[in-house]
Structure 1
Amino acid sequence: MRGLLKMKRLIELFVLFVLAPLCARCVNLPLNDDVLGLIVFKADVQDPKLKLATWNEDDDNPCNWTGVKCSPGSNRVVELNLDGFSLSGRLGRGLFQLEFLQRLSLAKNNLSGNINPNFSRVGNLQVIDLSGNNFSGIVPDVFSQCGSLRVISLANNKFFGKIPDSLSLCGSLIAVNLSSNQFSGSLPSGIWSFSGLRSLDLSDNALVGEIPNVIENLYNLRTLNLSRNRFSGQIPDGIGNCLLLRSIDLSGNSFSGNLPQTMQKLVLCGNLILSRNLFEGDVPEWIGGMKSLETLDFSGNNFTGRIPSTMENLQYLKVLNLSSNGFTDSFPESVMKCQSLLAIDFSHNLITGNLPATGSLAKLQFLNLSGNSFVGPIPETIGDLKSLSILDLSSNRLNVTIPDAIGGAVSLIELKLDGNFLEGEIPSSIGHCSSLTNLFMSHNNLTGPIPAALAKLSYLQNVDLSFNNLNGTLPKQLSNLPNLHMFNISHNDFNSELPTGGFFNTISPSSVASNPSLCGSVVNKSCPSVLPKPIVLNPNSTSDSISSSLPPSNNHRRNRNILSISVLIAIGAAAFIIIGVISITILNFRVQSPTSSSSAAALALSVGDDFSHSSSPDANSGKLVVLSGELDFSTGAHALLNKDCELGRGGFGAVYRTVLRDGHSVAIKKLTVSSLVKSQEDFEREVRKFGIVRHQNLVALEGYYWTPSLQLLIYEFVSGGSLYGLLHEASDDYVLRWNERFDIILGTAKGLAHLHQSNTIHYNIKSSNVLIDCNGQPKVGDYGLARLLPMLDRYVLSSKIQSALGYMAPEFACRTVKITEKCDVYGFGILILEVVTGKRPVEYMEDDVAVLCDMVRVAVEEGNVEECIDSKLRGNFPVEEAIPVLKLGLICTSHVPSNRPDMREMVKILEMIKCPSELQEELG
């Protein structure tokens, strides 16, 4: 069979290249070799997306074909751009027929194999871009006829061996990108003489050698990236003649010596990255003259001495990394004048003295001064850094107390103060750092209790307070922290019972070791029962104080009588007060809400006859509460639950649309889990909790109604229907465009992130619970309903709530795994896959069951990810957005909860995908 296929291919080539031209000449027909060449190229590749469907061998010329551009005068092909077409296969000989081809771009495909040596036959090529494929092997000497070549990119492939010496013949090159391959050996010497070269990127290879002084010939060079290779030697003085250099990255090599003084002439340079080399000596004072610097990274070298004061001249500097060197002396005050700084890393040096007053750096987001010899206090100005996310002051010699001002750094995500000599108590102001995720204060001299405010930090994941002198009782509310992975309080002096529930049910014994007075099952020590101390009144005392000693035995009966009378009086007074408060409350309620009882009566009567199988409740026993302050039920309360207006049914009950007399529409959910619902007090408390959660991407709860046998939730009405309906039930003429899908994914992520920030787990993420408003914006509904159940039993949840197959996180099936917000992240990941692919999470066929996440995962592993995009989009989507979003959905569906990102991270990642960083400067 293989022999027959090979013979068939030979026959096709013979017909196209021999017989067809002969026949055309015999009948004097004009022949376009470009058509033949492109058809042969097409025959050598696989086109799963049918991107080349317009390529028809019967056409007179290919000028209207997808990806093809022709010269207007001659109709000959001058440009072939097939970027991101998902093509696979090999680079066949058909392209060699395109003798007028000037620009060839096949980037971001799955093409493989070697580069054909006949490539040099296309002598007019100006641009070659084969980046982002699976080409491999040694690059042959194909540059013998490259006089016109201006741009070449072979980046992100699997080429190996030496870069061909013939590249030195391409003197017209302005951009060379051979990064992320396996090239080895030294560079062709001619590269350093390309006077027109603007960009040279050889990063991520295994190249060796030195930069010669003839680099001075590259006076047009803007970008030089030699990072992550094996280059060595010193930076030559000639680099100072490359006056147009804007970015230099020599990181991850073995460059050594001092920095040449000529570099001070590079005043346009914005990025100077020399990290992880062997540079030594002082950082020169002239560095302050490179006033365009935005990134300065000298980390991981052997620089010594003091940091120069001229740093204050770098007013555009955003990132300053001098970590892992041998800098000495005190922290340079000059750095505090660089007010554009976003990140400072001076970690692992020999810097001494006090910490600087950093209040002037209002934009600072990252500060790492760990591994030095700083002494004294943490300055109060730390509270002025409102944008600071990471603060690492660990492994220094800081003492005194942690200032209350730390609570002013409200954006903190990670705080590391471990390995110092800090004393005093942990300030309760730390509770203001509501985004705090990691808190490390181990190996200090801290005393006192853990502040209760710590239990408010719902994003906390890792806490290490070990090896201190902390004492007192542990706040019971710590067990409510939903994201804890580690809580180490070992080697302290706590004297209470460990909190129970949540993370503390499975806490490691090593995390609580060496607390002699700590008790609980984890430390195998039972807690003593504590009875309240009896209060005895001393009748002989003239003061108001309470005696703690018992009276003499002969006065025992008398004092007991006095105590009983006192207790009776106290009880009677308390009862009188309670009755009075209740009476006043009822009177106030009736005065302030004259319509509420009538509304409740109308509501109760309207639903009792038609929908309640139990006896209709008394008209005055129901309670209607309006949360939004806008709805008027004094009129139009009749027929609120009209059977003809039913919108749908779910695990919690049916939903109806009702239009009030003022024209305002609401959606009313009639709960059908009354046997599971808590008491009225618990019901109202929980409903009010998620009733105050407000966000533009959440369906707002506007009110509720309660009787013992009937509970209603009143929501805003969202007019656009559910996401499920738009994806799976709309007519064939209606298609959600890519931008609409992306906005729905991002808006849903924002809604869930706000829920989690409000300590609410949804438990039931699915497309039918995402509603679309009239502006196309998503609103997440049905959140918080799980809190109405008497207990969060995962089997009740999976049967009553998580009814949509395919969305339920795997931890629901395991009793020993903690249920957290990460179960929502799993459901959201499935939702992403559903929106991008247009397929249901689980689809049943005649002989098989297709599970969406498994199908997408296999496609990604096999390199066929674009095949998963909804065919209804017909290719009208940006690959650079759709593919990352799809892969992000897969990450969310990891079976290990800790591997899933949280929803805040999801929002940030999605926003980065939608608005990537500014494109590189165009060549020309």
Structure 2
Amino acid sequence: MATRFLLFLSLILLPYTCKATDQSLNEDLLGLIVFKADLLDPQSKLSSWNEDDEEPCSWAGVNCNPQTRRVTELSLDGFGLSGKIDRGLLQLQSLRKLSLSLNNFSGSLNPDLTRLEGLHTIDLSDNVLSGPIPSNFFSQCRSLRNHFSGGIPATVGNCSTLASLNLSSNWISGNLPAELWSLNGLRVLDLSRNLLFGEIPSGINRLFNLRTMNLKNNLLSGRLPVDIGGCSLLRSLDLGGNYLSGGLPETMQRFTMCNYLSLESNNFSGQVPVWLGDMKNLQTVDLSNNRFSGQVPDSIGILQFLKRLNFSSNSLTGSLPESMANCRGLAEVDFSRNSLTGSLPPWLFEAGMKKILLSGNNLNGAITVSTAAEETLEVLDLSANMFSGVIPVGIGGLLSLQILNLSENLLTSSIPVEIFGRLKLLEVVDLSSNHLNGSIPQEIEAAVSLKDLKLERNSLTGEIPIQIGNCFGLTSLILSQNNLSGPIPLTLAKLTSLQILDLSHNGLTGKLPKLLSELPHLLSLNISHNLLSGEIPSGGLFNSIPSSSLSDNPDLCGSAVNRSCGIVLPKPIVLNPNSSSSISSPNSVLSPANLRHKKIILSISALIAIGAAVFITIGVITITLLNLRIRAVASSSAAALNISEGGYFSGSPATDPNSGSLVMFTGDDPEFSTGAHAILNKDCEVGRGGFGTVYKTILRDGRPVAIKKLAVSSLVKSRKDFEREIKKIGKTKHQNLVGLEGYYWTQSLQLLIYEFVSGESLSRHLHESSEVNCFSWQERFDIILGVARSLAYLHRHDIIHYNLKSCNVFIDAGSGEPKVADYGLAKLLPMLDRYVLSSKIQSALGYMAPEFACQEVKITEKCDVYGFGVLALEVITGRKPVEYMEDDVVVLCDVVRGALDEGRVAECLDGRLAGKFPVEEALPVVRLGLICTSQVPSNRPEMSEVVKILELIRCPQDGGVRSGIHECWLMITTQGKPHWDEPSTKASTIRMQDQIVFEQRFTEEQNSLRDMVVDVVGSEFD
């Protein structure tokens, strides 16, 4: 702050302290230094900006006039800078171009920038700027022809010569100003990805030079203005992702030069207009996710240049028009989720298309495939129709096919071997829910690119072919609910990428291959309802597999099914004295030869019996030796802990090479009220986890502590590294963290000493408490907020938890505060081997971020954000992250996300609350949890941002709708879909917006969601 103050003081005193000849140069240099002082530069892109230089012309991103040496251009695009655009730039009086795009600049625009009279090019796109553009910003923009960011004042109409206006990807709100239409020189208008609402004003026909209009992903509503056809030179029109309604104006048929038309995800209704065929230059038409009805018009066949056609998710009926056979350039067609009828038209496979998507209709008849599509077709989805007959062999000729989905039809017969034998590029095959029979073709080994194979709910027979082990890329293999028999092939252990394996509801026999426990990425295994036998292997997923995934296999044994596996000894051979031979005489039994034979048999029997006795004796001796060994280890541990005569746990003498030292961070006297032999006694055990066993003991002063005996001794780092990591953890002090108070180290034994939390785990509270004793909404919210604060605190101190789950969160019985335990322990391993780690924390299945399964992806704080999102949903719903049903695995995130999409989130909330929760708080928390569990780490917010959002949710609303950014937040917290036929004010229109628009906006934003929510907090509640 002192440096920055001196810089500002230098600027103020500059006219009085510098010579006239050097004043202009110093103004530029000091102005840029002041500008830099207000920024964060994590990539050190501005390291060349040295205030001791005589001039800034050699600095990165700075260009100067070669004669005057004044700064004329500042281009810092993509430098990763953040902060505010400081007034130091006002010193650059010769600046002509300012380009700061693709950074993280925040705040609002400085109105004084208009004082830079020479400035004619500004690009501030792809930042997180907020607030309106100052009203005088456009007052001197006669030559201003590039990109802006901020609000849209009415003065924009003063820019009569403006040719391009790009305000995309910002937080611009309010109505579209009618003054925009006075910019009759405008060729490009891009206002996409903002928060504009209300109707599109009439008068747009004055933009007769307009070539490109992009208003997608806003909150615009109402009908399109009738005079929109006046923009007859339009080549690209994108209005997708709004709430526009009604039919399409007939004047749009004047767009004869238009090649791109996207109206997707609106509320347009009526029939698809016949005049669409008049727009003869169309190459892309997207009318998906609307309310269009009636038949597909024949006039589509006139569009000779059409390449991509998407009419999915409407209410279209009838059959596909034969006239579309004339669209020879058509590459992609999507009519999914309509009500189309009739058979599959032959022209679909004759046009050389790449994608054919017709799922979710009422199409019927046989599937016929033409050879014309052999070299082009990549995706074929005919699922959820009523196709019957056999799977055509001709599909095996589609050599470019990557995705084949014929599920949920009425197909019969067997699977053609050509599908797997010839299609080398095939990645996804879904033939589930049909009436297929026969066996799985052995030719499947040729499908080297296969990743996802779904054949469930059919009538397939025979054994699982061993050749399936050659499909090394398989991540999902689902063969459930068939009539498969025979053993589980050992070759499945070669599928090292496998994540989901479902073989349930078949007739499989034999033992479970132990090698399955070594599959590094296996997350879900279901073998229930088969005839499998033998002992369940240990290790990997088998250590935490639920019994429901193993059920109805009567001959399986092991701890997972609560059925012991007895020792099987060979049965002695016993001669039956009553046996007789049909070919022997009655006297032959007592013959010398038979007596000799009987002696031999009895000798074998005796030998086996003796062998069994020896085996038992060896077992007894082994167990005895093991007990002696355990006692010896316990004695050495006790010696290492050095019990003094008084029975207290104290420091060890340095002369003992096996001794260790007890270190307490608090400086207290490290003495315990019991001897070391009692500290780790089974009676003192209070819990077990992935990293060790926890015991409770009492300090000499009467204060209880918890001691964790690490179970990863063979993997723990050197003492130096161990102590460095532990001391780092010991410095963390937060009310929502279980405090680490000390540690004990030897090469073979490591103990961590924690404060003792007198309360149950969050998991037990959520899943084992009665309806009477369950958490209230207030308590649940406080738990979520407390956990978020603890993680944010850890991340500020460069500590990643790695193992967040509800059984690692304890509720203090006195204060009710949540306290997070087991943080940072993964750092004690010699390296963060995710396979070793995952085997230690398999109980965290469901909390683990997807990147844990990727060898090349770095594990970061975003893994904790994912686990927090799951935990938040668990607290709200009262359900476990993963629930194993009889024939299915239910993932909590997927259930809640599906409920949100269908507008029934309230059904997911814990029923024990019985409606005793504020919807305006519950729904935003649900959405926040889903955002935190995004599959893409960069889309997850920082934990510090999560805390701010939660505090914002709890913020009182003052009984009304606030202006600006708070209105946007209210849109997130509203319920229901808009009723556009009802008149509404500006504020009520905002309140009616559906949360789905925001989710679509968040996923499509080039700026991540975390930047947006920080902007919400920073601009309205800072």
Question: Would you say 1:76 and 2:142 are equivalent positions?
Answer: yes
CA contact (8 A) 2:205 2:229 kept: no
Aligned equivalent of 1:96: 157
Aligned equivalent of 1:799: none
Deviation at 1:262, TM superposition (A): 2.5
Tell me the secondary structure at the aligned position of residue 286 of structure 1. Answer: helix
Distance change (3 Å), C-alpha of 1:128 and 1:545: farther
Give the distance between the partners of 1:837 and 1:331, measured in 2 at CA. Answer: 43
Tell me the secondary structure at the aligned position of residue 407 of structure 1. Answer: helix
Give the distance between the partners of 2:727 and 2:186, measured in 1 at CA. Answer: 67
Any idea what the Cα deviations from partners look like across 1:420-462, whole Å, max 9, x if unmatched? 1212222222222222222222222223333323322343333
Give the distance between the partners of 2:404 and 2:522, measured in 1 at CA. Answer: 24
Deviation at 1:297, TM superposition (A): 0.5
Match for residue 140 of structure 1 among 201, 225, 228: 201
Deviation at 1:98, TM superposition (A): 1.2
Deviation at 1:338, TM superposition (A): 1.5
Distance change (3 Å), C-alpha of 1:196 and 1:545: farther
Aligned equivalent of 2:307: 246
Any idea what the Cα deviations from partners look like across 1:213-246, whole Å, max 9, x if unmatched? 3323212111100001111222223222211111
Aligned equivalent of 1:854: 947
Once the two structures are superposed, the pairs formed by residues 53-202 of structure 1 within 5 Å of their partners are 53=110, 56-66=113-123, 76-82=142-148, 85=149, 87=150, 91-202=152-263
Give the distance between the partners of 1:276 and 1:833, measured in 2 at CA. Answer: 27
Give the distance between the partners of 1:792 and 1:234, measured in 2 at CA. Answer: 53
CA contact (8 A) 2:532 2:556 kept: no
Aligned equivalent of 1:883: 1008
Distance change (3 Å), C-alpha of 1:238 and 1:78: farther
Match for residue 281 of structure 1 among 342, 356, 361: 342
Question: Would you say 1:216 and 2:216 are equivalent positions?
Answer: no
Distance change (3 Å), C-alpha of 1:535 and 1:566: farther
| Bigger RCO of structures 1 and 2 (CA < 8 A, at least 6 apart) | 2
Aligned equivalent of 1:675: 746
Tell me the secondary structure at the aligned position of residue 160 of structure 1. Answer: strand
CA contact (8 A) 2:459 2:483 kept: yes
Tell me the secondary structure at the aligned position of residue 559 of structure 2. Answer: coil
Kindly provide the amino acid, as one letter, of the partner of residue 390 in structure 1. Answer: D
CA contact (8 A) 1:257 1:279 kept: yes
Match for residue 409 of structure 1 among 471, 478, 496: 471
Question: Would you say 1:370 and 2:432 are equivalent positions?
Answer: yes
Question: Would you say 1:333 and 2:393 are equivalent positions?
Answer: yes
Give the distance between the partners of 2:568 and 2:400, measured in 1 at CA. Answer: 61
Question: Would you say 1:418 and 2:475 are equivalent positions?
Answer: no
CA contact (8 A) 2:199 2:222 kept: yes
Kindly provide the amino acid, as one letter, of the partner of residue 58 in structure 1. Answer: R
**RMSD between superposed Cα atoms in Å:** 5.7
Give the distance between the partners of 1:422 and 1:838, measured in 2 at CA. Answer: 46
Q: Which runs of 5+ in 1 are unaligned?
A: 1-34, 36-46, 69-73, 500-511, 513-518, 521-526, 552-558, 576-611, 619-645, 655-670, 680-723, 730-744, 750-762, 771-778, 794-803, 842-850, 865-878, 890-924
Q: Structure 1 vs Structure 2: percent identity of aligned residues?
A: 25
Deviation at 1:251, TM superposition (A): 0.5
Tell me the secondary structure at the aligned position of residue 491 of structure 1. Answer: coil
Distance change (3 Å), C-alpha of 1:677 and 1:567: closer
Equivalent residue pairs, number:
607
Give the distance between the partners of 1:298 and 1:139, measured in 2 at CA. Answer: 34
Kindly provide the amino acid, as one letter, of the partner of residue 220 in structure 2. Answer: F
Aligned equivalent of 1:650: 724
CA contact (8 A) 1:193 1:215 kept: no
Distance change (3 Å), C-alpha of 1:385 and 1:613: farther
Give the distance between the partners of 1:399 and 1:834, measured in 2 at CA. Answer: 42
Question: Would you say 1:206 and 2:267 are equivalent positions?
Answer: yes
CA contact (8 A) 1:653 1:672 kept: no
Deviation at 1:156, TM superposition (A): 0.9
Deviation at 1:48, TM superposition (A): 7.2
Q: Which runs of 5+ in 2 are unaligned?
A: 1-89, 91-103, 126-139, 576-595, 626-651, 659-719, 729-741, 751-792, 803-821, 845-860, 883-891, 893-928, 955-963, 967-1003, 1015-1022
Distance change (3 Å), C-alpha of 1:882 and 1:548: farther
Distance change (3 Å), C-alpha of 1:544 and 1:138: farther
Normalised to the residue count of structure 1, the TM-score between the two structures is: 0.55
Distance change (3 Å), C-alpha of 1:149 and 1:280: same
Give the distance between the partners of 2:251 and 2:510, measured in 1 at CA. Answer: 70
Match for residue 286 of structure 2 among 190, 201, 225: 225
Aligned equivalent of 1:297: 357
Tell me the secondary structure at the aligned position of residue 413 of structure 2. Answer: strand
Aligned equivalent of 1:14: none
Distance change (3 Å), C-alpha of 1:647 and 1:322: closer
Match for residue 310 of structure 1 among 355, 358, 370: 370
Kindly provide the amino acid, as one letter, of the partner of residue 106 in structure 2. Answer: K
Deviation at 1:53, TM superposition (A): 4.4
CA contact (8 A) 1:461 1:486 kept: no
Kindly provide the amino acid, as one letter, of the partner of residue 426 in structure 1. Answer: I
Aligned equivalent of 1:615: 655
Distance change (3 Å), C-alpha of 1:567 and 1:253: closer
CA contact (8 A) 1:537 1:563 kept: no
Distance change (3 Å), C-alpha of 1:817 and 1:260: closer
Any idea what the Cα deviations from partners look like across 1:693-726, whole Å, max 9, x if unmatched? xxxxxxxxxxxxxxxxxxxxxxxxxxxxxxx9x9
Give the distance between the partners of 1:233 and 1:188, measured in 2 at CA. Answer: 17
Deviation at 1:398, TM superposition (A): 0.8
Distance change (3 Å), C-alpha of 1:304 and 1:768: closer
Question: Would you say 1:455 and 2:529 are equivalent positions?
Answer: no
Aligned equivalent of 2:131: none
Distance change (3 Å), C-alpha of 1:475 and 1:162: same
Aligned equivalent of 2:605: 547
Deviation at 1:882, TM superposition (A): 6.4
Distance change (3 Å), C-alpha of 1:102 and 1:242: same
Any idea what the Cα deviations from partners look like across 1:266-311, whole Å, max 9, x if unmatched? 22222111111222222222223211x2211011122222222315
Question: Would you say 1:323 and 2:389 are equivalent positions?
Answer: no
Distance change (3 Å), C-alpha of 1:460 and 1:888: farther
Aligned equivalent of 1:742: none
CA contact (8 A) 2:123 2:146 kept: no
Tell me the secondary structure at the aligned position of residue 390 of structure 2. Answer: coil
Any idea what the Cα deviations from partners look like across 1:533-585, whole Å, max 9, x if unmatched? 8999999955897426999xxxxxxx99x9899999xx9xxx9xxxxxxxxxx
Kindly provide the amino acid, as one letter, of the partner of residue 145 in structure 2. Answer: E
Tell me the secondary structure at the aligned position of residue 118 of structure 1. Answer: helix
Deviation at 1:836, TM superposition (A): 12
Deviation at 1:51, TM superposition (A): 6.9
CA contact (8 A) 2:241 2:264 kept: yes
Normalised to the residue count of structure 2, the TM-score between the two structures is: 0.50
Question: Would you say 1:343 and 2:403 are equivalent positions?
Answer: yes
CA contact (8 A) 2:383 2:405 kept: yes
Kindly provide the amino acid, as one letter, of the partner of residue 340 in structure 1. Answer: S
CA contact (8 A) 2:436 2:459 kept: yes
Give the distance between the partners of 1:137 and 1:259, measured in 2 at CA. Answer: 36
Match for residue 320 of structure 2 among 254, 259, 264: 259
CA contact (8 A) 1:155 1:178 kept: yes
Distance change (3 Å), C-alpha of 1:781 and 1:258: closer
Distance change (3 Å), C-alpha of 1:528 and 1:489: closer
CA contact (8 A) 2:121 2:144 kept: no
